[in-house]
Amino acid sequence: MKNTFGNSVAVTLFGESHGEYIGAVIDGLASGITIDREYISHQLTLRRPSGKISTPRAEKDEFKIVSGVLNDKSTGTPITILIPNENVKSGDYSQIKTIARPSHADYTAECKYHGFQDYRGGGHFSGRITAALVAAGAICKFALEEKGIYIGTHVKRCATVQDRNFEDIFADIKSINQKSFAVFEESAGEKMKEAILAASADGDSVGGVLETAILGMPLGVGEPWFDTMEGMLSHMMFSIPAVKGIEFGAGFAISDMRGSKANDPFRMENGKVITETNNTGGINGGITNGMPIIFRTAIKPTPTIFKPQNTVNFQTMTEVVSEPKGRHDPAIVHRARVVQDAATAIVLCDSLALRFGTDWLTPTI
């Protein structure tokens, strides 16, 4: 339903790049969940631009929670998070409000909102809004960890440079969640940063691939049709601006395998059913099978670049050359990883509450 996602735990997003606040409402989350402000801050820090590989727009992201929390515990009623927009330069944008920046949403916003859209800094389409998603997701992610469900995302690929795959998933999630540039192999990370800086020096941008692992999901969550785990996760992930693809387990590579190679044989381990391989990414028939859920998203290069580009003025319906000024990110893949964590956490909380009831996340003493 448009800006609300979820059936039992639902998140509503609002705000514009240059408005007073952006924010989120989380509805339906169980009562008694610890709201750890430092944890939320840390997630916001991981998203925040820093150094030369990101936009110079520096936000403090000093969020406040104005409802649904008492004595640092969720009350069970809607939790509202507000994040003020502080470093706003609206003057940067006003001259170009009818110029459609290529592969941005300026033109489609015009088609949908008929000129009434907030054009300043991308308005409601700005990646800035993902800060609210991160804050909401951080609350969910923390709650999941208390129940033994862990989420971690690394930059699997950036500017054609590859990071290694997940290996010891528990240890990998633990370590990656502490890193500001989320790669397992530092050398790969250095090469990625160099490539980002090189693109930046050219006034250009790069993309990449994010890989997420989820550990500890209970068995039997998800539906056979429509509300499959893959369907719910993918529905959400395309809300991360720049995502153009998603794949689970072996993903597109599975389409070149034969069944005898692709199938994941079941076996017993310590009295539990597990699979030898995990080509289906922890999901069979739309339902969790207890193995780690693994998925990857394709992140396109940031569309804002500092090169002249052919485009149109959609008011005058004439062709013009766009020469973006202002601030931008030469890559967002390294920042988007924490957005992907947050988005994942929201989907899981919703699926779990729907499956096991609204109190399932409430800690028991």
The set of residues, in sequence order, having a beta carbon less than 8 Å from that of 1 and lying 6+ positions away, is: none
Is the Cβ of residue 109 or residue 338 nearer to a second copy in the bound state? 109
Binding residues among 237-276 for a second copy as defined by CB under 8 A: 237-239, 241, 243-260, 262-268, 271, 273, 275-276
Contact segment (CB under 8 A) with a second copy among 49-57, 67-75, 169-177, 179-187 equals 67-75
Binding residues among 186-205 for a second copy as defined by CB under 8 A: 199, 202, 204-205
User: Closest approach of Cβ 104 to a second copy, in Å?
Assistant: 7
Is the Cβ of residue 72 or residue 185 nearer to a second copy in the bound state? 72
Token pair of 352 as six digits: 């779990």
CA angle centred on 53, ends 47 and 55, rounded to 5°: 65
Token pair of 208 as six digits: 């990449």
Cα torsion angle, 237, 330, 128, 183, sign: positive
Contact segment (CB under 8 A) with a second copy among 45-53, 156-164, 169-177, 185-193 equals 156-164
208 binds a second copy (CB under 8 A): yes
What is the C-alpha separation between 112 and 271, in angstroms, rounded? Answer: 55
Binding residues among 212-241 for a second copy as defined by CB under 8 A: 219-228, 230-232, 234-239, 241
Which of 88, 109, 134, 188 forms a contact with a second copy (CB under 8 A)? 109
Side chain identity at 152, as an amino acid letter?
G
Is the Cβ of residue 178 or residue 315 nearer to a second copy in the bound state? 315
| Gyration radius of the chain over CA positions | 21
What is the C-alpha separation between 337 and 209, in angstroms, rounded? Answer: 9
User: What stretches of 25-168 show up as alpha helix (H) in DSSP?
Assistant: 37-47, 106-113, 130-146
For residues 341 and 151, is the Cβ–Cβ distance under 8 A?
A: yes
91 binds a second copy (CB under 8 A): no
Is the Cβ of residue 179 or residue 300 nearer to a second copy in the bound state? 300
User: Closest approach of Cβ 174 to a second copy, in Å?
Assistant: 26
Binding residues among 321-360 for a second copy as defined by CB under 8 A: 333, 354-360
Token pair of 100 as six digits: 């459609």
Is the Cβ of residue 178 or residue 252 nearer to a second copy in the bound state? 252
Which of 284, 292, 323, 349 forms a contact with a second copy (CB under 8 A)? 284
Which of 45, 98, 102, 327 forms a contact with a second copy (CB under 8 A)? 102
What is the C-alpha separation between 72 and 37, in angstroms, rounded? Answer: 8
As a dihedral over the C-alpha atoms of residue 213, residue 217, residue 222, residue 227, rounded to 10 degrees, the angle is: -40
Is the Cβ of residue 102 or residue 326 nearer to a second copy in the bound state? 102
Cα torsion angle, 108, 113, 115, 120, sign: negative
Which of 80, 153, 212, 344 forms a contact with a second copy (CB under 8 A)? 80
Which of 53, 88, 105, 134 forms a contact with a second copy (CB under 8 A)? 105
**Can you say whether residue 118 is alpha, beta or left, with left for phi > 0 and alpha for psi between -120 and 50 degrees?**
beta
Is the Cβ of residue 172 or residue 264 nearer to a second copy in the bound state? 264
Side chain identity at 313, as an amino acid letter?
N
Binding residues among 7-26 for a second copy as defined by CB under 8 A: 7-8, 10, 12-16, 19-23, 25
Closest CA to 306 of 229, 211, 200: 200
For residues 329 and 302, is the Cβ–Cβ distance under 8 A?
A: yes
134 binds a second copy (CB under 8 A): no
Is the Cβ of residue 54 or residue 234 nearer to a second copy in the bound state? 234
- Residue 216 Cα distances to 13, 132, 166, 285, angstroms: 28, 26, 15, 19
288 binds a second copy (CB under 8 A): yes
302 binds a second copy (CB under 8 A): yes
CB atoms within 10 A of CB 64: 12
CB atoms within 10 A of CB 260: 6
Contact segment (CB under 8 A) with a second copy among 46-54, 167-175, 180-188, 298-306 equals 298-306
Which of 45, 76, 145, 327 forms a contact with a second copy (CB under 8 A)? 76
Which of 307, 315, 323, 325 forms a contact with a second copy (CB under 8 A)? 307
